[in-house]
Structure 1
Amino acid sequence: MNDTRNSADARMVYVTCPDIETARLIASAVVEHFEAACVNILPGLESVYRWQSRIEIDNELLLLIKTRADRVASIQARVAALHPDDVPEMVAVPIIEGSSAYLDWLDEQTRPQ
Protein backbone atom coordinates (compact mmCIF):
# COMPACT_ATOMS: atom_id res chain seq x y z
CA MET A 1 0.00 0.00 0.00
CA ASN A 2 1.34 3.42 -0.98
CA ASP A 3 0.77 6.08 1.70
CA THR A 4 1.97 8.97 -0.44
CA ARG A 5 0.22 11.14 -2.96
CA ASN A 6 1.16 13.77 -5.47
CA SER A 7 0.10 17.29 -4.61
CA ALA A 8 0.29 19.87 -7.37
CA ASP A 9 -1.10 22.40 -4.89
CA ALA A 10 1.43 22.05 -2.03
CA ARG A 11 4.39 24.43 -1.82
CA MET A 12 7.53 24.88 0.27
CA VAL A 13 8.43 28.55 0.63
CA TYR A 14 11.98 29.47 1.61
CA VAL A 15 12.57 32.79 3.38
CA THR A 16 15.85 33.93 4.95
CA CYS A 17 15.75 36.13 8.06
CA PRO A 18 18.47 38.20 9.71
CA ASP A 19 17.55 37.28 13.31
CA ILE A 20 15.35 35.04 15.44
CA GLU A 21 12.90 37.83 16.25
CA THR A 22 12.12 38.42 12.56
CA ALA A 23 11.94 34.68 11.91
CA ARG A 24 9.47 34.11 14.76
CA LEU A 25 7.41 37.15 13.81
CA ILE A 26 6.95 35.98 10.21
CA ALA A 27 6.46 32.32 11.17
CA SER A 28 3.80 33.14 13.74
CA ALA A 29 1.99 35.56 11.44
CA VAL A 30 1.68 33.18 8.48
CA VAL A 31 0.46 30.33 10.70
CA GLU A 32 -1.95 32.60 12.61
CA HIS A 33 -3.51 33.85 9.36
CA PHE A 34 -3.88 30.30 7.92
CA GLU A 35 -1.36 31.10 5.19
CA ALA A 36 0.92 28.25 6.30
CA ALA A 37 0.34 24.95 8.04
CA CYS A 38 3.80 24.85 9.61
CA VAL A 39 7.04 26.82 9.58
CA ASN A 40 10.42 25.40 10.53
CA ILE A 41 13.07 27.88 11.68
CA LEU A 42 16.57 26.66 10.87
CA PRO A 43 19.45 28.54 12.52
CA GLY A 44 23.07 28.51 11.46
CA LEU A 45 22.71 29.56 7.84
CA GLU A 46 25.51 31.57 6.27
CA SER A 47 24.60 33.44 3.10
CA VAL A 48 27.05 34.82 0.53
CA TYR A 49 25.52 37.19 -2.02
CA ARG A 50 26.11 40.32 -4.04
CA TRP A 51 24.26 43.45 -2.90
CA GLN A 52 24.85 46.91 -4.33
CA SER A 53 28.03 45.76 -6.10
CA ARG A 54 29.56 44.27 -2.93
CA ILE A 55 29.96 40.68 -1.81
CA GLU A 56 28.16 40.24 1.51
CA ILE A 57 28.45 37.38 4.01
CA ASP A 58 25.74 37.22 6.66
CA ASN A 59 24.57 34.80 9.32
CA GLU A 60 20.87 34.18 8.79
CA LEU A 61 18.04 31.83 9.67
CA LEU A 62 15.98 29.94 7.12
CA LEU A 63 12.21 29.58 7.25
CA LEU A 64 10.70 26.49 5.63
CA ILE A 65 7.06 27.44 5.15
CA LYS A 66 4.63 24.67 4.16
CA THR A 67 1.59 26.00 2.32
CA ARG A 68 -0.61 25.79 -0.78
CA ALA A 69 -0.05 27.49 -4.12
CA ASP A 70 -3.01 29.83 -3.65
CA ARG A 71 -1.54 31.15 -0.36
CA VAL A 72 1.93 32.04 -1.72
CA ALA A 73 0.93 35.58 -2.78
CA SER A 74 -0.44 36.40 0.67
CA ILE A 75 2.74 35.00 2.28
CA GLN A 76 4.81 37.16 -0.04
CA ALA A 77 2.82 40.26 0.97
CA ARG A 78 3.18 39.42 4.67
CA VAL A 79 6.94 38.81 4.33
CA ALA A 80 7.31 42.15 2.52
CA ALA A 81 5.43 43.90 5.34
CA LEU A 82 7.30 42.25 8.24
CA HIS A 83 10.83 41.68 6.92
CA PRO A 84 13.46 44.39 7.48
CA ASP A 85 15.37 43.78 4.22
CA ASP A 86 14.73 45.89 1.12
CA VAL A 87 14.58 42.71 -0.99
CA PRO A 88 13.75 39.76 1.25
CA GLU A 89 14.56 36.35 -0.17
CA MET A 90 11.40 34.38 -0.80
CA VAL A 91 11.13 31.48 -3.24
CA ALA A 92 8.45 28.82 -3.52
CA VAL A 93 8.92 25.34 -4.91
CA PRO A 94 6.34 22.61 -5.49
CA ILE A 95 6.10 19.71 -3.10
CA ILE A 96 5.97 16.85 -5.57
CA GLU A 97 4.99 14.07 -3.20
CA GLY A 98 4.34 13.49 0.48
CA SER A 99 2.36 11.42 2.93
CA SER A 100 -1.37 11.65 2.32
CA ALA A 101 -2.09 12.41 5.96
CA TYR A 102 0.44 15.27 6.08
CA LEU A 103 -0.69 16.81 2.80
CA ASP A 104 -4.34 16.57 3.89
CA TRP A 105 -3.42 18.32 7.16
CA LEU A 106 -1.47 20.99 5.26
CA ASP A 107 -4.50 21.63 3.06
CA GLU A 108 -6.84 21.85 6.07
CA GLN A 109 -4.57 24.23 8.00
CA THR A 110 -4.20 26.69 5.13
CA ARG A 111 -7.90 27.18 4.45
CA PRO A 112 -9.28 30.47 5.79
CA GLN A 113 -11.37 29.73 8.87
Structure 2
Amino acid sequence: MERPLLVYTTFADAETALAIGEELVRARLAACVNVLPGMRSVYAWKGAVERGEEVVALFKTREGIAGALAAALKERHPYETPIILHLATCGADEDTAAWILGETGG
Protein backbone atom coordinates (compact mmCIF):
# COMPACT_ATOMS: atom_id res chain seq x y z
CA MET A 1 0.00 0.00 0.00
CA GLU A 2 1.29 3.45 -0.93
CA ARG A 3 2.19 5.57 2.08
CA PRO A 4 0.44 8.78 3.12
CA LEU A 5 2.49 11.97 3.02
CA LEU A 6 2.13 15.38 4.64
CA VAL A 7 3.13 18.45 2.63
CA TYR A 8 3.93 21.57 4.64
CA THR A 9 3.72 25.09 3.25
CA THR A 10 2.92 28.59 4.48
CA PHE A 11 0.78 31.43 3.17
CA ALA A 12 0.36 35.09 4.09
CA ASP A 13 -3.32 34.61 5.00
CA ALA A 14 -5.91 31.93 5.69
CA GLU A 15 -8.25 32.84 2.82
CA THR A 16 -5.53 32.29 0.22
CA ALA A 17 -4.49 29.03 1.88
CA LEU A 18 -8.10 27.79 1.98
CA ALA A 19 -8.80 28.80 -1.62
CA ILE A 20 -5.71 27.07 -2.99
CA GLY A 21 -6.25 24.13 -0.64
CA GLU A 22 -9.80 23.69 -1.90
CA GLU A 23 -8.61 23.74 -5.52
CA LEU A 24 -6.06 21.01 -4.80
CA VAL A 25 -8.55 18.88 -2.84
CA ARG A 26 -11.05 19.20 -5.71
CA ALA A 27 -8.25 18.17 -8.11
CA ARG A 28 -7.70 15.07 -5.91
CA LEU A 29 -4.08 16.03 -5.24
CA ALA A 30 -4.85 16.07 -1.51
CA ALA A 31 -7.53 14.48 0.64
CA CYS A 32 -7.51 17.41 3.05
CA VAL A 33 -5.71 20.61 3.91
CA ASN A 34 -5.45 21.93 7.47
CA VAL A 35 -4.92 25.68 7.74
CA LEU A 36 -3.46 26.85 11.04
CA PRO A 37 -3.58 30.63 11.51
CA GLY A 38 -1.62 32.80 13.87
CA MET A 39 1.95 31.75 13.09
CA ARG A 40 4.66 34.37 13.44
CA SER A 41 7.81 33.84 11.42
CA VAL A 42 11.40 35.07 11.50
CA TYR A 43 13.30 34.14 8.36
CA ALA A 44 16.28 35.02 6.21
CA TRP A 45 15.35 36.37 2.78
CA LYS A 46 17.70 37.91 0.21
CA GLY A 47 20.35 38.84 2.76
CA ALA A 48 18.01 40.32 5.39
CA VAL A 49 16.24 38.92 8.43
CA GLU A 50 12.50 39.46 8.15
CA ARG A 51 9.50 39.00 10.42
CA GLY A 52 5.98 38.29 9.35
CA GLU A 53 2.65 36.73 10.17
CA GLU A 54 1.68 33.66 8.20
CA VAL A 55 -0.55 30.60 8.29
CA VAL A 56 0.60 27.00 8.03
CA ALA A 57 -1.08 24.67 5.55
CA LEU A 58 -0.67 20.91 5.90
CA PHE A 59 -1.80 18.86 2.94
CA LYS A 60 -2.66 15.20 3.45
CA THR A 61 -1.72 13.30 0.30
CA ARG A 62 0.20 10.22 -0.84
CA GLU A 63 3.80 9.71 -1.90
CA GLY A 64 3.00 8.90 -5.53
CA ILE A 65 1.55 12.34 -6.28
CA ALA A 66 3.92 14.45 -4.19
CA GLY A 67 5.55 15.94 -7.29
CA ALA A 68 2.21 16.81 -8.89
CA LEU A 69 1.00 18.44 -5.67
CA ALA A 70 4.23 20.44 -5.34
CA ALA A 71 3.98 21.62 -8.95
CA ALA A 72 0.35 22.66 -8.48
CA LEU A 73 1.25 24.52 -5.28
CA LYS A 74 4.11 26.40 -6.99
CA GLU A 75 1.85 27.31 -9.91
CA ARG A 76 -0.80 28.84 -7.63
CA HIS A 77 1.27 30.13 -4.70
CA PRO A 78 1.65 33.91 -4.39
CA TYR A 79 5.14 33.71 -2.83
CA GLU A 80 8.18 34.06 -5.09
CA THR A 81 9.73 31.00 -3.44
CA PRO A 82 7.12 29.08 -1.46
CA ILE A 83 8.32 26.63 1.17
CA ILE A 84 7.20 23.14 0.21
CA LEU A 85 8.36 20.34 2.48
CA HIS A 86 7.43 16.69 2.10
CA LEU A 87 7.05 15.14 5.54
CA ALA A 88 7.16 11.35 5.36
CA THR A 89 4.94 9.48 7.77
CA CYS A 90 6.41 6.57 9.67
CA GLY A 91 2.97 5.09 10.20
CA ALA A 92 -0.70 5.85 9.89
CA ASP A 93 -3.93 4.43 11.16
CA GLU A 94 -5.13 1.94 8.56
CA ASP A 95 -8.47 3.69 8.07
CA THR A 96 -6.81 7.10 7.79
CA ALA A 97 -4.36 5.83 5.19
CA ALA A 98 -7.17 4.19 3.20
CA TRP A 99 -9.18 7.44 3.25
CA ILE A 100 -6.21 9.52 2.02
CA LEU A 101 -5.40 7.03 -0.72
CA GLY A 102 -9.05 6.74 -1.75
CA GLU A 103 -9.61 10.49 -1.96
CA THR A 104 -6.47 11.03 -4.03
CA GLY A 105 -7.15 8.27 -6.53
CA GLY A 106 -4.66 5.81 -5.05
User: Same fold by TM (over 0.5)?
Assistant: yes
Distance in 2 of aligned mates of 1:98 and 1:75: 20
Is 2:76 aligned against 1:110?
no
Aligned to 1:9: 3
- Partner AA of 2:89 in structure 1: I
Aligned to 1:73: 67
- Partner AA of 1:99 in structure 2: D
Structure 1 moving runs of 4+ over 2 Å:
none
Shift of 1:20: 1.8
Is 2:88 aligned against 1:97?
no
Aligned to 2:18: 24
Q: For residue 88 of structure 1, give the secondary structure of its aligned residue in structure 2.
A: coil
- Partner AA of 2:31 in structure 1: A
Name stretches of at least 5 consecutive residues in structure 2 with no aligned partner.
Answer: none
Distance in 1 of aligned mates of 2:37 and 2:15: 12
Q: For residue 16 of structure 2, give the secondary structure of its aligned residue in structure 1.
A: helix
Is 2:11 aligned against 1:51?
no
Q: For residue 98 of structure 1, give the secondary structure of its aligned residue in structure 2.
A: coil
Could you tell me whether the CA contact under 8 Å between 2:10 and 2:55 is conserved in 1? yes
Q: For residue 43 of structure 2, give the secondary structure of its aligned residue in structure 1.
A: strand
Shift of 1:21: 2.4
Which one has a bigger Cα radius of gyration? 1
Shift of 1:8: 5.9
Q: TM-score, normalised on structure 2?
A: 0.93
Distance in 2 of aligned mates of 1:8 and 1:97: 11
- Partner AA of 2:24 in structure 1: V
RMSD: 1.4
Q: For residue 87 of structure 1, give the secondary structure of its aligned residue in structure 2.
A: coil
Q: TM-score, normalised on structure 1?
A: 0.88
Q: For residue 12 of structure 1, give the secondary structure of its aligned residue in structure 2.
A: strand
Could you tell me whether the CA contact under 8 Å between 1:25 and 1:82 is conserved in 2? no
